[in-house]
Structure 1
């Protein structure tokens, strides 16, 4: 029987609604993005509309709102397709960098991963096409606010869609690449690792292009553009690095077994003497001894140092309870588990006691200490 995972904490921010059973959260950093992007859009608004004064910033704000509506639709597409494929969205979050969708669990297949990832950029590209079609139709006069909004919708959605298809994590294209490697190699961790390293290359490439392209054309890059390029590259590098580190940790977890993080143990009756327990443990190759209550449940474990300090001439008459440490209820895990499931079970059990007993079929097979879990993962 597997233990349920505790619910993940919700991102900080304001919940403005729920979609597909998940809250829509506006992070505080979103306000920073709105203010900065409104200011940066003002010049474009002046060129497109000829407006001046406060009207410029009102239209600039409309540009930004339209952008984040597009971002929300992008994330909503991720969530709805994921839910249709059996992966429940946990939250939709609008942030400084646009937004992200969190899920309660991993995608069940590589195909689901790829489909959920690619649908977001596709939505943006479709929106860009719709806005562009309206512009090309001549239905909107140039120089008007409506024309400027249509132009903004076409450009921003086109950029968001194309940029997110770049094949490197944490971008959607990176998730598609990870799914492709997963599907070919049948190794999900390898897919994430490859896409993470490609993402690091992409991060460096974005900064180099953003800085080098204007200079190659004979111009200079201004301080604001340099800072934005550095921030975007840092964001991409951080996301890619997290994917690489996460895949390494996942690999380490997958390789964890009871033998790698526990010590062989044997269960004995609570009225056994120190000498009897030592002889029995040695005969079966056990390093640890667990005292069993009359109903067969683990009640305590032997302190090896205390047991070794008992003189040999009195070890046969010294009860094992004199050198044992009581165990609280629930200090038991299923010894047949392995990998991340075993680590999760031990981690939950060691929240209440630093030592837990591993049992298989009602028989004591091992003793695990919290420190041994950390050592096994690092190893």
Structure 2
């Protein structure tokens, strides 16, 4: 479990906000009421932690690997090693978190209903706090919009119906934006309609709305990047190239490239390995009248051994191969059936994913 620095801010703010409720429920004053308020907050985050652990345990049972449980200013989240492989797993992992909170809320409420704990005592106040906060966390997280768990369920439903994870994420992200806007509107309309909401309540609700909007927008951007990743091919990120010998002239290399209608040229070593590529800017700076006597190696950039990728790969597989190769050189050669098919520049790959 990781406690983000913002978690301490949340503890301090929520403790201060809980003091009036703790005072009303227990009648305590002074430092005692602050201790009870802090206990409310600790109980809340303990429930959030159990919420995240439930996500992790069910995800592991469904084949996902949870990496960490993080408590933050806005509650918590579970980081996984990869995305859910199926809509069913996505929905089941998402819904189990709120289900745990609703179960805890019911247990706390059941303990209150037994009426064996005297009203107004600290224990009674803690039971009341556990029932209310778990009920709120469970219901709120079931709202159908990302980044909430209910948004993951909606995402899974649309994904299953359309057979497109991208469509599911974008749809749930836009609903999440609607939910975020609704929270802000609700917060602002309360005081305007004569409600009893305090300034702090309004500010807190607006902050939650902003957080939800940010999370929904991030989900939409991530889905678009993911779609771009899945569509990565040699044709989308690379440029066709021709090959020339290590001892050829720049003029010969230019003629071969022009005949093929391409701009990139790869030099082959005597053993047939891609050994270098022509720097376009350097080649363009050579006067035409001396290109025939200029060795192509004079305007070429050496390629280290291993700076090649399999040009038949697509999507994540191609990106993984590119990640390996571009650690050696920012420009790599794509091979198809052992023959040079093109050049791929790391900058073009990044631009394609962001497009």
TM norm structure 2: 0.92
User: Is 1:367 aligned with 2:337?
Assistant: no
Distance 2:298 2:19 in 1: 79
1:28-43 matches, cutoff 5 A: 28-43=5-20
Q: Distance in 1 between matches of 2:35 and 2:235?
A: 65
Matches within 5 A, 1:1-379: 24-213=1-190, 215-216=192-193, 218-307=194-283, 318-379=294-355
* Contact kept? 1:170, 1:236, Cα under 8 Å: yes
Q: Assess, with a 3 A threshold, how the Cα gap between structure 1 residues 61 and 282 changes in structure 2: closer, same or farther.
A: same
Range 104-113 or range 336-345, more displaced? 336-345
CA shift at 1:190, angstroms?
1.0
> Offset at 1:228?
0.4
**Partners of 1:93 and 1:38 in 2: how far apart?**
20
Moved more, 328-337 or 225-234: 328-337
Query: Is the 8 Å Cα contact of residues 211 and 221 (structure 1) preserved in structure 2?
Result: no
Aligned length: 355
1:108-151 C-alpha deviation (Å, 9 max, x unpaired): 11111111100000000000111111111122221111111111
CA distance in 1, matches of 2:50, 2:44: 10
Mean alpha-carbon deviation: is it higher for 113-122 or for 282-291? Answer: 282-291
Q: Secondary structure of 1:83's partner?
A: helix
Range moving further from structure 2, 48-57 or 111-120: 48-57
Post-superposition offset of 1:269: 3.2
**Distance across 1 between alignment mates of 2:210 and 2:287:** 63
Q: Which runs of 5+ in 1 are unaligned?
A: 1-23
- Cα distance in 1, alignment partners of residues 196 and 113 from structure 2: 33
Alpha-carbon distance in structure 2 between the residues aligned to 1:43 and 1:227: 17
Question: For the residues of structure 2 that align with 1:225 and 1:143, how far apart are their CA atoms?
Answer: 25
User: Does the aligned pair in 2 maintain the 1:264–1:285 contact within 8 Å?
Assistant: no
SS of 2:63's equivalent in the other structure is: coil
2: CA distance between counterparts of 1:143 and 1:208? 35
* Shift of residue 331, structure 1, vs aligned partner: 2.0
Alpha-carbon distance in structure 2 between the residues aligned to 1:223 and 1:273: 76
Q: Structure 1 residue 278: deviation in Å?
A: 3.9
CA distance in 1, matches of 2:10, 2:132: 18
Q: Distance in 1 between matches of 2:191 and 2:197?
A: 6
Distance 1:164 1:106 in 2: 20
Distance 1:237 1:318, change over 3 A: same
Which secondary structure state, in structure 1, belongs to the residue aligned with residue 143 of structure 2? coil
Q: TM-score, normalised by structure 1?
A: 0.87
- Compute the displacement of 1:222 (Å): 2.1
- Displacement of 1:221 in angstroms is 3.1
* Alignment gaps of 5+ in structure 2: none
1:317 shift after superposition: 5.5
Task: Provide Cα deviations, 1:248-281, integer angstroms capped at 9, x if missing partner.
Answer: 2222333332212211113333233434444444
Larger mean Cα displacement after TM superposition, 81-90 or 354-363: 354-363
Q: Could you list the per-position Cα deviations for residues 190-237 of structure 1 after superposition, in whole angstroms to 9, with x for gaps in the alignment?
A: 111111111111001011122323543x33432211210111111111
